[in-house]
Structure 1
């Protein structure tokens, strides 16, 4: 079991039932946070998952990372069967073994996770097995200079309810869907309005803007994007498309960052996109790092060999955002 340093990680009690759970992760003394972002990974080491994990360990040590963000689809193909499912060890504990990765993994659920026992992934029993693991449906991570708003995006996708095909989804805790989404959107909007952080970033599994296989998620564009824009969110971070991608919306200035290359990737599966907005599209495995200070967020995308694919520096002055 990984032991967490006292004072670095704590759950803050919500003052009312309707608010999102809040966690705190203190910034370094120099007011910075270094983070790795990974999605769509849990395949028991196959499809280059182990190779990506190895490179994450190297980069994680170099950057002295504070934590890892998982953008969902944590366990393929159909989530976990229960808290004792060996896939938790086979796809997580026994794969991400590098010393630098023994930090908290803040995780959201993906659509494949919803095909299993959702409560198993959310259970504190998994944190007893490996204390790095922290997965909730939706929550807030306060990093002092940045707040991450983790949003449960799978229930937004109407197709999973109306045309699930051969799949079975675990909707316990979600139904009635309309009420669930209404309350979630209200809570996210309220939290963003109240946030005083220098940086505001939203994390979800599903794409919003994407040139990849799944493309745009229209349900999120209609329901969530207006809240992001109204609250001057700096970035939306996601997985779902098995690629690495960076899009800057020309109207809102929001950075759409896809890190879904944790294992299986889809070669040459890309749709046309405005090249003024599309700064990176890579159809292979890899991950992303973020170095966050009060004035800048430096993002780097890496491939399965640890090679740098793309770098970008986001400034609080949105007119001064450029290649590093």
Structure 2
């Protein structure tokens, strides 16, 4: 009963603040002001297939061990083509019925991936889904403020021009995006202002598409052009994404930014790795798994796990005493 009341508190008290920026802001209370812990998962929704259920099992185990505050999804939440509507059984069969561990009964913050845009986007964004499972929160772009960290969720799919030219051979649901150019321009202005005004100790940006990756899809040139400069200007610590079905850690060679890919929630083992794009590469695993993030005022610890819950890669980042801005 107490846990149900906590969910009700989270949903009814996700506060929209009338800040100067236009990105909806949610305040997430944490266990303590001194630490934050969460899991990051991407590219997962396959009704338990392709080891999705096994990854979920290990997420539950690690989530309990770390006493996580919430879960972040980096998109491509439902395969192959998103949801067909608010009552699509794929929502429960790929989400509610899979991530059943007690430790995962926390808020899930999710962005859309390109596969989600192939379905009924408005359904996946609908508050109706929260009535089915109160953990679910998916919006195009928004901010989660935990005081210790601000996490900026960015809708990256509209940045990729290929999706608008039918080169990929798929139909996308662009309702709500009347003009790609105007949509991107407004989002960049909102993100610029939000990052500029942020006073958080840690700044984290979440998107579906990679800025840097040596996986199948590789770097996203549109994000390198439009998003990366903002990350550098405002001292963002981490950019986290999915899209490539692997786990990666790449350090930027020109700034303190760490690029982290967690897109291995189900189908993986693609096998095509870009051997020519390894600048700053610290770790790459072409298989299923997920990532954990633990923060305090002085350091961050990032850990990548495989489908068996084994640690594949771990690194710490110290927080500089003075801002780079």
* TM above 0.5: yes
Instruction: Find 1:239's aligned residue among 242, 249, 267.
Output: 242
Q: How far does residue 104 in structure 1 lie from its aligned partner after superposition?
A: 0.4
- The aligned counterpart of 2:283 is 280
Q: What is the number of residues matched between the two proteins?
A: 318
Cα drift, residue 266 of structure 1: 2.9
Unaligned runs of 5+ in 2: none
Change (3 A) 1:30 1:222: closer
Gaps of 5+ in 1: 319-324
Q: 1:162 aligns with which of 150, 160, 165?
A: 165
Q: How do residues 71-220 of structure 1 correspond to structure 2 at under 5 angstroms?
A: 71-220=74-223
1:94–1:307 distance in 2 versus 1, CA, 3 Å: same
- SS of the residue corresponding to residue 197 of structure 1 reads coil
1:61 equivalenced with 2:101 (yes/no)? no
Task: Sort the Cα spacing of 1:171 and 1:279 in 2 relative to 1 into closer, same or farther, 3 A.
Answer: same
The answer to whether the 8 A contact 1:3-1:131 is kept is no
**1:16 and 1:197 mapped to 2: Cα distance?**
15
Aligned to 1:15: 18
Q: CA 1:217–1:274 in structure 2 vs 1: closer, same or farther (change >3 Å)?
A: closer
Q: Secondary structure at the match of 2:14?
A: strand
Q: Is the 8 A contact 1:207 1:216 kept in 2?
A: yes
Q: Is the 8 A contact 1:4 1:131 kept in 2?
A: no
CA shift at 1:154, angstroms? 0.2
Shift of 1:162: 1.4
2:272 equivalent to 1:269 = yes
Task: Give TM-score scaled by structure 1 length.
Answer: 0.94
Partners in 2 of 1:59 and 1:16 — Cα distance? 35
Task: Give, in angstroms, the shift of residue 175 of structure 1.
Answer: 1.7
Offset from partner CA, 1:4-40 (integer Å, 9 cap, x none): 5165563223427961000011232251111000000
Report if aligned partners of 1:34, 1:66 keep a CA contact under 8 Å in 2.
Answer: yes
104-113 or 157-166, larger mean C-alpha shift: 157-166
**Mapped partners of 2:251, 2:160: distance in 1:** 23
Deviates more, 1:291-300 or 1:160-169: 160-169
Q: Work out whether residues 14 and 20 of structure 1, in 8 Å CA contact, stay in contact via their aligned partners in 2.
A: no
Per the alignment, residue 322 of structure 1 pairs with none
More deviation, 300-309/260-269: 260-269
Quick one: distance in 2 between partners of 1:94 and 1:4? 21
1:206-243 CA-partner distances (Å, limit 9, x unpaired): 01100000000000100111111111100100000000
Across the aligned residues of Structure 1 and Structure 2, the Cα RMSD in angstroms comes to: 1.7
Cα displacement (A) at 1:174: 1.2
Q: TM (normalized to structure 2)?
A: 0.94
